[in-house]
Amino acid sequence: MSSSERPAAATAMSTGRESADRTRAAFERLLMVAFHYPPCFGSSGIHRTLKFSRYLQDHAWQPIILTAHPRAYAKTSPQQLGEIPAGIPVTRAFALDTPRHLPVLGKSLRVRALPDRWSSWWLGAVPAGLRLVRRHRPAVLWSTFPVATAHLIGLTLRRLTGLPWVADFRDSMTEDDFPVDPGTRRIYRWIERQAVRSASRLIFTAPSARAMYHARYPELSPSRSLVIPNGYDEVDFSGLPAPDVRPSPAHGPIRIVHAGLIDEEERDPRPLFRALARLRRDGQISPETVQVELRAPGSDDYYNRVVKELGVEGLVRVLPALAYRDVLRDCAAAAALLVLQGESCNHQIPAKAYEYLRLGKPILALTSAAGDTAALLAECGGVTMVDLLDEEAIHGALPPFFASLRAGTHGLPDQGRTARYARHNQARDLAECLSQVAVEGAFR
């Protein structure tokens, strides 16, 4: 029977299948190697890969996810599993957290946990990745830091398959004193060098990180690197109040929130605590007028001890983790949001900065004016900025900052400028990069 003689229903079904086949054929496939992916809980790194996998499909790229078995995660939560787009293949390869699952190895055999504690993931991910390449025929490989094993997997698959590789560094893998352990630093630096030699593109989240790598590796041509910053997903902010600044209640504390991890050295909050303690002693503030909340800072015992030692009990509260959407809701209800970023991180921008900007709240940024974080916040506005370690400057800046919050006169981030950091824009930029790489083929 010719096609013209087929029953209408059969013809419609055939046409639908052919249309679907053409649609699939129009999509290029991307193998994404990422450790942090739902149900992993507690890392801001989840959002970059998750949102890319969600929005790349709007730009004719079909993601294929290669991640780790959930046993390797310190914490898991099902809350973001529903955000994984339907139809995306997700392979969770064998992986262990070496100190937790193999404590019998001891420090004398710690080399087995290099380049990081999830090095066993390489054993499961490489054969799994080869199977995915045979099955799905991706045009490009992509791997993402901050787990170094992910780049080691990307490098291995690049060598075994010949596919072009895009290495998403985000921040710098190495610095003169990072990682602290010299052996780990040597391995990280080796992986870094291999990426510079073999990857078709290197992606960074901040301009200064990109500049650092070009200074370190003069052979890296500018055309092989680009900046794709972190950002925010508008969907995550649905149902939250529109950005505004309402005067804080005449009676009741001004609530200032920091959401997420606080590194004890690179984001040291003690100068802020000392400034708060002085204002308290002077009678300018009390727990009834000001409260600074540290939401899931990590090292909770340490921060609770420091809060007590520096005399800011009641003024500063250490609070437990919440689900991502609940954190956004909590931040939206605050009077202001807090950024902590030391000078050693001038080439980094914390992912929370973009979410803070989208929330449209006043921002107290304790950071170096010379860093990329300061440049971003100055671009978008709504910020009071003081150096993280300058206790005197912080002490002087806090009273007028509190007064502006109470009166509702503090500036707000410009939502027009903030909009460029929406996740769908980052996905568009990544898709353009991938399309260029796919056309070029593997870097020679």
**Digit-coded pLDDT (tens) for 2-49:** 333 333 333 333 333 343 343 444 689 999 999 999 999 878 789 999
In one-letter notation, the amino acid at residue 146 is P
User: What is the domain partition of the chain in residue ranges?
Assistant: 3-231+422-440, 236-420
DSSP state of 104: G
Which are the contacts of 208, defined by CB distance < 8 A and separation ≥ 6?
Answer: 346, 347, 348, 371, 372
Under 8 Å between Cβ of 418 and 147: no
Q: Counting Cβ atoms within 10 Å, is residue 101 exposed (0-12), middle (13-18) or buried (19+)?
A: middle
Q: What is the CA radius of gyration of the chain?
A: 24
Each of the 444 residues of the chain gets a pLDDT tens digit; together they read 333 333 333 333 333 334 334 344 468 999 999 999 999 987 878 999 999 999 999 999 999 999 999 999 999 999 899 999 999 999 999 999 987 877 765 554 454 578 999 999 999 999 999 999 999 999 999 999 999 999 999 999 999 999 999 999 999 999 988 999 999 999 999 999 999 999 999 999 999 999 999 999 999 999 999 999 999 999 999 999 887 666 566 678 999 999 999 999 899 999 999 999 999 999 999 999 999 999 999 999 999 999 999 999 999 999 999 999 999 999 999 999 999 999 999 999 999 999 999 999 999 999 999 999 999 999 999 999 999 999 999 999 999 999 999 999 999 999 999 999 999 999 999 999 999 999 998 444
User: 225-227 and 61-68: which strand pairing?
Assistant: unpaired
Give 91's strand partners: 66
Residues in the chain: 444
E strand or H helix that includes residue 193: helix 182-198
Token pair, residue 439, equals 């056309």
Element containing residue 257 per DSSP (H, E) = strand 254-259
Amino acid identity, residue 239?
A: G
Q: Would the CATH topology of 3-231+422-440 be identical to that of 236-420?
A: yes
First to last CA, the chain: 52
391-407 vs 270-281: helix crossing angle, rounded to 10: 70
The neighbour count for residue 1, using CB atoms within 10 Å, is: 7
Q: What is the CATH number of domain 236-420?
A: 3.40.50.2000
Provide the edge-to-edge strand list for the sheet that holds 140-144.
90-93, 61-68, 28-33, 140-144, 165-170, 201-204, 225-227
**Which class is 3-231+422-440 in CATH?**
alpha beta
Question: From CA 207, how far away is CA 388, in angstroms rounded?
Answer: 21
pTM for the predicted model, two decimal places: 0.89
